[in-house]
A and B are shown apart, each in its own frame.
Chain A
């Protein structure tokens, strides 16, 4: 088996001693097969209250109309589209982990892809709910679809990026859902075969009759690979099209060709930050330290530095091009962003997205769980402000100074936003309870090649170069799931 030959220099993806195939199943199914603990209930109640606030605020919006939001005739898009773009962006990391990292054969994705994909789906649900609620008359949402109607038929305008967005977001959501669920089938079958009674019947329906035969697996792998292949350009297209909602307009500050790559990088950046926020807590509360290791955390932090730096370059490029273009409106839009009445939003964005992620260059910081978590929150705040800055500061001072205004959110705006976070966490916590948060079958694949015990065994058998073995043992020092004295003992 080719997967058995992995360099000893590579850091382990599974730690812990006496990890067998059944131990993997047992460990990962603990939250699914047992009653939830107190931490889960507290989290769930708080999130459900948030979700309740969301239901209330969205119903309020539907009942009284979007006049209840803080919008005015100059600023026609504010927290709604900010929230939409923020959530779609967060979703992108899930697809990146499940699809792009699969194409690049990054095995460390195996233990984080499941929960990241779930996050994608829940984030896109939050994003879509913003789209529906910002329509004003949400019951007419079908007007965005090319359906035959009694006005002619009057078709939608396919030249409009807003229509592209309808197709992009709905394709993205449904393909992500299919990808996620197909990947879940073998793991649902594992739960099914261990359960009894009603649980067995429910999981039996959900498992689609999976039996793990050779052909099922062979085709499963091909299906996963092709879905990854089509999801990769899909995820890039989705945020490209989201950025075109702005870029194809003539509003200074939006009308830039840099938007698609800049938005995609920003999406991956915020998405990884959200994965980090969720997984650091999940791994602690669910005791997944052996499967989501320091290597995973560090790798994600490295992606955060990379994408954060791309975003930083994009911000600076925007400023340069605004000046270099010689267009006075463009120049004013950016001068206004940096030093206008919303200067604080701009500088929060700059600090959170460009400056603070650079701290991850220090190994001490990127291998510290507390700091990684804190910085991931900072990135999420920064990315929310990025969208706010792009949307509101470009709109609030238009061509006519007499209509220059500020935007003040109403309680409904705040309620919908806080509420959407509640919806997201409610769904995520329910997911943790009923489905395995780590892809068991895929982690089992790593056991013989990439686990710490397999590598230690090779070292004990003296099957590897001692210098390389030393290097490997040194790399374990940062792992919080391997106690240091064990590592020391192995060295001697």
Chain B
């Protein structure tokens, strides 16, 4: 048994990459992940990744912002210290709309981005889990778990046929950053 942990297929072109994914799937090779320097449209359908629920998250946070704003303003201007401003109603709803809107946007944006960072483990100072340094530059990389997919030669030839320009057999999962 070899010490190879991951097989990386490097592609120079996103279309070749997509072709490679298809070929691997036809031969029932499971794909661990794909690393690309830019978003590839349609790849999530191919890999069976579900639609992200971040939109709902944003909506929820946005709604929280709206409610926060209206309750804060109502508490301050109507309940805690109602002031007579030219005899106008204390609950001057139209005047509250601008801040309700601003806080909706603020909460939605920060809540959604915070959730995104949380679920994708993005944080300042987090050690980058990078399998290949060129995957953020000009290479489109398919990573295949070599432990679960044992026929390495077959995988190599599938990748090569699909147009991979380089195939790496890595004994470490991530590129060391130290």
Contact = CB atoms under 8 A, between A and B. Distances in A.
Contact of B136 (A164, A193, A442): A193
A289 to B, nearest CB: 21
Interface stretch (B22-30, B38-46, B153-161, B163-171): B38-46
Interface string A214-245: 11111111110011001101100100010010
Contacts of A305: none
A400 to B, nearest CB: 23
B4 interface: no
B75 to A, nearest CB: 9
Contacts of A193: 128, 130, 133-137
B76 A155 contact: yes
A212 B36 contact: yes
B1 interface: no
Nearest to A4: B15
B92 A212 contact: no
A114 interface: no
A218 B136 contact: no
A211 B112 contact: no
B106 interface: yes
B35 A208 contact: no
Given A168-B98, A192-B128, A217-B36, A204 B177 contact: yes
Contacts of A220: 39, 116
A233 B102 CA distance: 10
B105 A159 contact: no
Given A167-B99, A445-B38, A445-B39, A179 B136 contact: no
A1 interface: yes
B118 to A, nearest CB: 11
A154 interface: yes
A200 B133 CA distance: 12
B137 A25 contact: yes
Given A155-B80, A211-B128, A215-B49, A21 B37 contact: yes
B87 interface: no
A192 B112 CA distance: 25
A230 to B, nearest CB: 5
Interface residues of B, number: 70
Nearest to A240: B98
Nearest to B116: A223
B109 A230 contact: yes
Main secondary structure of the interface of A (DSSP, over half): helix
Interface stretch (A80-88, A182-190, A460-468): A182-190
A205 interface: yes
A448 interface: yes
Nearest to B46: A214
B63 interface: no
Contact of B106 (A171, A194, A216, A244): A171
Given A146-B76, A178-B110, A218-B52, A209 B99 contact: no
Contacts of B35: 211-213
B58 A226 contact: yes
A196 to B, nearest CB: 11
A153 interface: yes
Nearest to B177: A204
A97 B13 CA distance: 28
Given A164-B98, A179-B109, A226-B55, A214 B47 contact: yes
A204 B175 CA distance: 13
A2 interface: yes
Nearest to B72: A146
Contacts of B122: 185, 208-210, 216
A164 B99 CA distance: 6
Interface in A51-95: none
B54 interface: yes
Contact of B124 (A200, A205, A215): A205
A145 to B, nearest CB: 11
B43 A209 contact: no
A158 B95 contact: yes
A36 B8 CA distance: 37
A231 B40 CA distance: 24
A175 interface: yes
B85 A157 contact: yes
Interface in B107-165: 108-110, 112-113, 116-117, 119-131, 133-138
B61 to A, nearest CB: 10
A174 interface: yes
A469 to B, nearest CB: 23
Nearest to B62: A230
A152 interface: yes
B77 interface: yes
A208 B136 CA distance: 14
Given A190-B137, A208-B117, A175 B109 contact: yes
A230 B105 contact: yes
A174 B65 CA distance: 15
A153 B77 CA distance: 11
A204 B127 contact: yes
B81 to A, nearest CB: 6
Interface of A: 1-4, 20-22, 25, 146, 152-159, 161, 163-164, 167-168, 171, 174-175, 178-179, 182, 185-186, 189-190, 192-194, 200, 204-223, 226-227, 230-231, 233-234, 237, 241, 244, 440-442, 444-445, 448
Given A175-B109, A194-B137, A209-B126, 14 more contacts: A20-B138, A21-B12, A152-B81, A164-B102, A182-B116, A186-B136, A215-B120, A219-B52, A223-B112, A230-B108, A233-B101, A233-B105, A244-B98, A444-B37
5 contacts: A174-B110, A214-B40, A217-B36, A233-B105, A241-B98
Interface of B: 12-15, 18, 33-44, 47, 49, 52, 54-55, 58, 62, 72-73, 76-77, 80-81, 83, 85, 88, 92, 95-96, 98-99, 101-103, 105-106, 108-110, 112-113, 116-117, 119-131, 133-138, 177
Q: Shortest 8 CB-CB distances between A and B: which pairs?
A: A209-B126, A21-B138, A22-B138, A155-B76, A208-B122, A164-B98, A217-B39, A193-B133
